[in-house]
A = this chain, B = another copy of it.
Amino acid sequence: MTSEPMEDLLRAPQGAIDLSARETNASPGFDGGKKDGKVALLGLGAGLADLQERLFAHGMSGGHKNLLLVLQGMDTSGKGGTLRKTVGLMDPQGVRITSFKAPTPEELEHDFLWRVHRALPGPGYVGVFDRSHYEDVLIARVRELAPAEEIERRYDAINAFEADLVESGTTIVKCMLHISADEQRERLLARLNKPNKYWKYNPADVDERQRWPAYREAYEIAIERTNTDVAPWYVIPADKKWYRNLAIGHLLHHALSELHLDWPSADFDVEEERRRLAEEDPIT
Tell me the A residues contacting B by CB distance below 8 Å.
20, 57-58, 60-61, 80, 83-84, 87-88, 91-93, 95-97, 99, 130, 181, 185, 188-189, 192, 195-196, 198-201, 203, 206, 209-210, 212-213, 263-266, 268, 270, 273-274, 276-277, 280, 283-284
B199, A263: Cβ atoms closer than 8 Å: yes
B189, A60: Cβ atoms closer than 8 Å: no
Closest B residue by C-beta to A282: B181
Closest B residue by C-beta to A181: B283
CA distance in complex: A71, B83 (Å): 24
5 contacts between A and B (CB under 8 A): A84-B91, A84-B93, A195-B265, A199-B264, A206-B273
B92, A276: Cβ atoms closer than 8 Å: no
Contacts of A96 in B (CB 8 A): 97
CA distance in complex: A185, B279 (Å): 11
Contact of A198 among B92, B97, B270 (CB under 8 A): B270
CA distance in complex: A213, B283 (Å): 8
CA distance in complex: A181, B263 (Å): 28
B88, A84: Cβ atoms closer than 8 Å: no
Contact of A283 among B93, B198, B209, B270 (CB under 8 A): B209
CA distance in complex: A130, B93 (Å): 9
A246 to chain B, nearest CB (A): 18
Contacts of A57 in B (CB 8 A): 196, 199-200
CA distance in complex: A266, B181 (Å): 24
Contacts of A93 in B (CB 8 A): 80, 83-84, 97, 99, 130
A201, B268: Cβ atoms closer than 8 Å: yes
**Given A83-B93, A263-B199, A266-B201, does the pair A283, B212 have CB atoms closer than 8 Å?**
yes
**Given A83-B91, A84-B92, A264-B199, does the pair A192, B284 have CB atoms closer than 8 Å?**
no
